[in-house]
Amino acid sequence: MDFFTEYGDANRILREVKLLRLLRHPNIVEIKHIMLPPSKREFKDLFVVFELMESDLHQVIKANDDLTREHHQFFLYQMLRAMKYMHTANVYHRDLKPKNILANANCKLKICDFGLARVSFSDSPTTVFFTDYVATRWYRAPELC
C-alpha cells in the first residue's frame, strides 16, 4: 500500500516518527530502526522497527485475574512517569488507553501510538486548540475533557 495516498495516515505516521525520535524515556516505546526504500521512486512503504514488547496492558488486564495491588501501583507509577515526561515536553498523547500501553513479562510498561498526539508550543492554555475528535470514545485524555 502506498502510504502517501491517504493524507491523514501519512500525517499520523510522520507525526509519530517525529515525536518518538525526540521523546527518550524508559516508559515510552523506542524506535530502533526506520527502513527506507533504496530509491525515492520506490518510496511507497515505510517500515518502523520498534523495540520488542510482548503484549499490551489490555491483554494483561484481560488475562490476569491475580494482579495484586503492587502490580497496580507499579503500572500506575510507570504511566504517570511517562505522562509527566510527555506533558513537561508539552506533548499530549490524546489516545491513551490500555491497548496503547505496551507491556512485557517483567511488568514494564511503555506508551506507544503517538499518531493522534499533539505538541503545544506555548504554556498558555488559551492558545492551544486541538480537535475534540479522537478514534476511541471510551477513554478520554485529561487534556480533552
**Residue 125 cell numbers, joined:** 492554555
Is 95 tagged catalytic?
yes
Q: Which amino acid is at 19?
A: L
Burial environment of residue 130 by CB neighbours within 10 A (0 to 12, 13 to 18, 19 or more): middle
Cβ atoms of residues 31 and 21 within 8 Å: yes
Q: For strand 47-50 and strand 31-35, is the pairing parallel, antiparallel, or unpaired? A: antiparallel
**Residue 122 cell numbers, joined:** 506555548
User: Over the range 21-44, which residues count as b (16 or more CB within 10 Å of their CB) and which as e?
Assistant: eebeeebbbeeeeeeeeeeeeeee
69, 92, 84: which is closest to 19 by C-alpha? 92
Single out the catalytic residue among 2, 56, 95, 123. Answer: 95
Q: Which residues are catalytic?
A: 95
